[in-house]
Amino acid sequence: MGGVLDNTSTVCHGPSIISIHDVGISSCTLGQLRHRADLVIYWGSNPWDAHPRHLERYTNFTKGRFQDADWYGYVTRTNIHQTDKRLSRILKLTPGIKEEVLPKNESLPYKFFRKGRKMMVIDVRRTRSADMADYFLQVEPNKDYELIEAFRMLIKHEELEVNEVAGVPVEILEDIADALINCSLGVIFFGVGLTMSKGKHRNIDAAISLVRDLNQRTKFLIMPMRGHFNVTGSNTVSTWQTGYPFAVDFSQGYPRYNPGETSVVDILRRDETDAGLVIASDPVSNFPKEATSNLIKNPLIVIDPVETPTSVMADVVIPTTYVGIETEGTAYRMDHVPLPLKKVVNPPKGLPSDKEALEKILLEVRRMRKEMI
């Protein structure tokens, strides 16, 4: 047809992919981290709310071969946190006692200078994951790049000429840099808080460079916290089919790639489309308003098992079966490991799977093209 094919990574981890083109990535599978990682850093991500099974299956709360689970520490910290909350509530109710204002960033706890599994959260606000971490570092919004670059300087034993970076005093940064160097296997999990803040793909560029620098001193890895179900799979398949992971433009008969020019949000914003096909995703609730209004004013076809804001606004809706419940299939985990999905129940009669529906459309498109030629 000569259209443009894009997937949901364009609104989540597209910047990570663009930066990997520039500097590469040193990553691994989650099994490695479960058994070996002793310093786990969540940067701009909130796994307790967004990836609920991640902590207990792959990192701090699971017992690996060489690392112990940190459940005991978690329970203690939660108790302390709850007691803190209760005390502050009492203090507020008691007249005449002023609430003590805690410093924004405290120094590193003693645990970071011992062996054993540690968890650190770096974010702009105190999330649920930050509450259960051993250490929480609060950065000023949109200052992640400066912080990463400061860490890169400290790891090279260079002195900083400023007193604080991104709202964090340099003394604390020096302690954290020591902790980064002294771990035996560290990992940075970064989320949309890093990819979509000011600087976008250059933040990831710097984070990967930080990991590259750290690998000269110890073993360090980095991994994106991928969001949408099987978005990694669509990246992988798109790469081995077309050569490019997302935003692939086929309009001139061969795949071309230039996010910003061929990515779906930019195309919709410039109003360059005349029809849309959405498969199992929800652009109406994720895209900017301008792009959404341009998407729905043209003919829109939705192939989706569930009712979404997009399918409500579509001209044609083709309901399909759920993969992993009513049809078998393959989904890629966030560390690029393909997992087979089993069928559990029979689908309603006459309901096609995504694959069957698309194959039928493809056959019809090919027949029409032949007639045109």
Give the binding-site size for another protein (rule: CB under 8 A): 37
Interface residue with another protein, options 261, 290, 307, 359 (CB under 8 A): 261
Task: Give the residue from 238, 295, 241 showing the smallest Cα distance to 270.
Answer: 295
The alpha carbon dihedral of 249, 231, 356, 286 has a sign of: negative
CB of 153 to another protein, least distance (A): 5
Interface residue with another protein, options 34, 54, 118, 152 (CB under 8 A): 152
For another protein, give the closer residue by CB, 263 or 320. 263
For another protein, give the closer residue by CB, 271 or 326. 271
CB of 261 to another protein, least distance (A): 6
Q: Name the DSSP letter for residue 151.
A: H
Instruction: Check if the beta carbon of residue 37 is closer than 8 Å to that of residue 67.
Output: yes
User: Cα angle at 228 between 63 and 148, to 5 degrees?
Assistant: 70
* C-alpha separations of 216 from 9, 201, 314 in Å: 31, 23, 53
Residue 18 lies near another protein (rule: CB under 8 A): yes
Structure-token pair, residue 313: 């606004």
For another protein, give the closer residue by CB, 80 or 368. 368
CB of 329 to another protein, least distance (A): 30
Amino acid residing at 122: I
For another protein, give the closer residue by CB, 94 or 252. 252
What b/e readout covers 40-56, taking b as 16+ CB neighbours within 10 angstroms? bbbbbbbbbeebeebbe
Instruction: Check if the beta carbon of residue 278 is closer than 8 Å to that of residue 265.
Output: no
Interface residue with another protein, options 101, 162, 372, 373 (CB under 8 A): 162
Backbone angle region of 346, left / alpha / beta, with phi > 0 → left and psi within -120 to 50 → alpha: beta
Task: Give the residue from 311, 335, 340 showing the smallest Cα distance to 323.
Answer: 340
Which range touches another protein (CB under 8 A), out of 14-22, 60-68, 105-113, 335-343? 14-22
Which range touches another protein (CB under 8 A), out of 55-63, 79-87, 270-278, 312-320? 270-278
Residue 140 lies near another protein (rule: CB under 8 A): no
Round to whole Å and give the CA distance between 191 and 134: 19
Residue 160 lies near another protein (rule: CB under 8 A): yes
Interface residue with another protein, options 21, 104, 125, 297 (CB under 8 A): 21
Binding to another protein (CB under 8 A) within 168-227 occurs at: 198-199, 202, 205-206, 209, 213
Task: Give the residue from 276, 270, 123 showing the smallest Cα distance to 193.
Answer: 123
Interface residue with another protein, options 96, 103, 260, 350 (CB under 8 A): 260
Binding to another protein (CB under 8 A) within 340-369 occurs at: none
Q: Name the DSSP letter for residue 247.
A: -
CB of 74 to another protein, least distance (A): 34
Q: What are phi and psi of 318, to 5 degrees?
A: -110, 105
For another protein, give the closer residue by CB, 95 or 260. 260
CB of 250 to another protein, least distance (A): 8
Residue 229 lies near another protein (rule: CB under 8 A): no
Say which residue the tokens 């990997």 belong to.
20
* C-alpha separations of 336 from 27, 231, 333, 339 in Å: 10, 10, 5, 9
Residues at the interface with another protein (CB under 8 A): 1-3, 18, 21-22, 145-146, 149-150, 152-153, 156, 158, 160-162, 165, 198-199, 202, 205-206, 209, 213, 250-252, 257-261, 270-272, 274
